[in-house]
């Protein structure tokens, strides 16, 4: 998919070192990452953003979404999230500290969620977010 000079595509093996390096720099979830989970956003063949659908036995989660600083606030993250939603299952969760961003795509706050996501909530809290600043949200098609 090409929009505004940005190509959204499945990640390749060659993309993974850059994705992993950027995800670590942005303090994102790097646990059990694999190429087949990721979409990348590229401009002029350079990775400017990425995101993944992380599948657990009990649910699927949009995770590890990041955009390089010089491309933030230009719609790259939105393009990635829309494509992850489009290609994902009927029900998708996200654990985040930016609920306003995900609300605009139709995600809604939930109090009850699959227990596997508690590990993500704890991960966010470990980065000095207060429990009331960490949200689990769900999207239903």
What the chain holds in terms of domains, given with CATH numbers, is 2-140 (3.40.630.30)
Among candidates 81, 75, 18, 25, which has minimal Cα distance to 52?
81
| Residues forming a β-bridge with 43 | 46
- The per-residue pLDDT for 69 is 96
- For the beta carbon of residue 107, count every other beta carbon within 10 angstroms: 23
E strand or H helix that includes residue 59: none
Whether 3 has a pLDDT exceeding 80, the answer reads no
pLDDT band at 67 (very low <50, low <70, confident <90, very high): very high
How far apart, in whole angstroms, are the C-alpha atoms of residue 89 and residue 5? 28
pLDDT band at 1 (very low <50, low <70, confident <90, very high): low
pLDDT digits 0-9 by tens, 7-60: 999 999 999 999 999 999 999 989 999 999 999 999 999 999 999 999 999 999
Strand 2-3 relative to strand 108-109, pairing: unpaired
Say how far residue 10 (Cα) sits from the centre of its chain: 14
The dihedral through the CA atoms of 7, 71, 100, 57 has a sign that is positive
Residue 78 tokens read as 């939105």
pLDDT digits 0-9 by tens, 70-97: 999 999 999 999 999 999 999 999 999 9
Q: If DSSP codes are grouped into helix, strand and coil, which group holds residue 100?
A: helix
Whether 128 has a pLDDT exceeding 90, the answer reads no
């Amino acid at each position: 998919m090409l929009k505004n000079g940005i190509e959204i595509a499945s990640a390749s093996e060659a993309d993974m070192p850059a994705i992993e390096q950027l995800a670590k720099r942005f303090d994102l979830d790097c646990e059990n990452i694999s190429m087949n989970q990721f979409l990348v956003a590229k401009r002029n063949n350079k990775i400017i953003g990425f995101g993944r659908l992380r599948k657990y036995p009990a649910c699927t989660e949009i995770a590890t979404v990041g955009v390089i600083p010089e491309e933030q606030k230009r719609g790259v993250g939105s393009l990635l999230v829309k494509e992850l939603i489009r290609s994902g299952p009927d029900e998708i969760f996200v654990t985040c500290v930016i609920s306003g961003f995900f609300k605009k795509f139709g995600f809604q706050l939930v109090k009850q969620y699959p227990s596997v996501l508690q590990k993500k909530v704890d991960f966010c809290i470990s980065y000095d977010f207060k429990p009331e600043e960490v949200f689990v949200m769900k999207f239903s098609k």
